[in-house]
Amino acid sequence: MRVGQAGLGPWGKNLARNFDDLAELAWLCDARPDRLADAESRFPRARTTESFEEMVADDELEAVVVATDVPTHYRLAKQALEAGKHVFVEKPPAMRAREIDELIALAAERDRVLMPGHLLLYHPGVGKLKDLIDARELGDVLCVYGNRQNLGVVRSHENALWSLGVHDLSVILHLLDEEPEEAIALGRAFLQEGVEDVVFCYLRFPSGKIAHMHLSWLDPHKMRKITVVGREKMAVFDDMELDRKVTVYDKSPEEPEVGATFGEWRTRTGDIFSPKIPNDEPLRLECTAFLELVRGSGDRRKVAEDGARVVRVLERLTTSLDGG
Ligand SMILES: NC(=O)c1ccc[n+]([C@@H]2O[C@H](COP(=O)([O-])OP(=O)(O)OC[C@H]3O[C@@H](n4cnc5c(N)ncnc54)[C@H](O)[C@@H]3O)[C@@H](O)[C@H]2O)c1
């Protein structure tokens, strides 16, 4: 399969390495000549261009990877779909719900794949959390919260909600498989006007479950963590851990006995264990999933719809953050 990639920054290079291994990386495109030259030296068999239009005009090119700056994602993904290409577009695929809806309609009309790059959905640790929840190992899920904090990288084109929150939100929506009926965000722009560095989000779902996200690039802790609190057990996915990515805590509250005179809630603490998580590179799994969708296996419609759900909730959180 012939793949062309636009955007050869630090993240784009990771994608290019994988697509070069898994398919034929036929085109490299970047508006910056220095980045293009650097990529050309790594992947000498690929053709190079600074023009996205030139790349997508190649009739033999089947798929396009968009790893450019966030505000360009929608426009470039649209151009590639209009040229009849399958599209992998880095997160977030668009910055407005109506834009992603338009991309989905276009992909359906042209019978093409539109896959937003939600990397964590391909992380074996997140897969394990999902399995635990679906198998009801944790009992009823009550709440989920994400911590994504660090000092830097300070972005200028997008705020902490769009840069960091997109990851946790994709995981929370995947785990709970519901769309929130309430979405509230509070935050502040300390360093650059209009670009929030610290954001706290609250989501409430129709089932009554709640979720929270703490997103910040102004923080002493480097945290990449999702915690799921179930009625019977609790589980944590910690991407900073090397070999204890998921920990399950057999802990829960115990109801007072019926008729007890001094009925008090107690807590139960059992084993703490860490299931084995395969060490596969999530990005490799994600790129493989895209190529499989192009080859016709998997549910291409669902992958695109899941991405749209993330954009819809991000848009609502942005309205809340803006005070609307
Ligand atoms: N999934 C993840 O975990 C993850 C991690 C980091 C970044 N990302 C995403 O990947 C994307 C790239 O990240 P990065 O850090 O490499 O970004 P970057 O800003 O360093 O690089 C983007 C590149 O795109 C090029 N570009 C912009 N518009 C272009 C156009 N119209 N045509 C051709 N080239 C163009 C720029 O010249 C630049 O070299 C971003 O969208 C980011 O959100 C995803």
Tens of pLDDT, residues 284-294: 999 999 999 99
Q: Is 88 in the pocket of ligand 1 (CB under 6 A)?
A: no
Q: Is 14 in the pocket of ligand 1 (CB under 6 A)?
A: no
Q: Are the beta carbons of 68 and 16 closer than 8 angstroms?
A: no
User: Which ligand 1 atom sits nearest the alpha carbon of residue 9?
Assistant: 16
Q: What is the mean pLDDT of residues 104-114?
A: 98
Nearest CA to ligand 1 atom 3: 119
Distance CA 283, CA 123 (A): 8
Is the model's pLDDT at 324 over the cut of 70?
A: no
Better pLDDT: 133 or 259 = 133
Q: Is 170 in the pocket of ligand 1 (CB under 6 A)?
A: no
Q: Is 188 in the pocket of ligand 1 (CB under 6 A)?
A: no
Is the model's pLDDT at 139 over the cut of 90?
A: yes
Out of 14, 18, 27, 30, mutate this one to test ligand 1's pocket (max ligand atoms within 8 Å of CB): namely 30
Out of 29, 51, 90, mutate this one to test ligand 1's pocket (max ligand atoms within 8 Å of CB): namely 90
Say what the pLDDT of residue 227 is: 98
Say what the pLDDT of residue 263 is: 76
195-252 residue pLDDT tens: 999 999 999 999 999 999 999 999 999 999 999 999 999 999 999 999 899 999 999 9
Give the count of beta carbons closer than 10 Å to the beta carbon of residue 276. Answer: 10
158-195 residue pLDDT tens: 999 999 999 999 999 999 999 999 999 999 999 999 99
Say what the pLDDT of residue 281 is: 96
Distance CA 290, CA 154 (A): 29
The DSSP symbol for 153 reads P
Give the residue from 239, 234, 235, 169 showing the smallest Cα distance to 199.
169
Question: Residue 267 is encoded by which pair of tokens?
Answer: 């807590």
Say what the pLDDT of residue 259 is: 74
Q: What is the mean pLDDT of residues 46-50?
A: 98
Q: Is 91 in the pocket of ligand 1 (CB under 6 A)?
A: yes
Q: What is the Cβ-side half-sphere exposure of residue 207, based on CA atoms within 13 angstroms?
A: 12
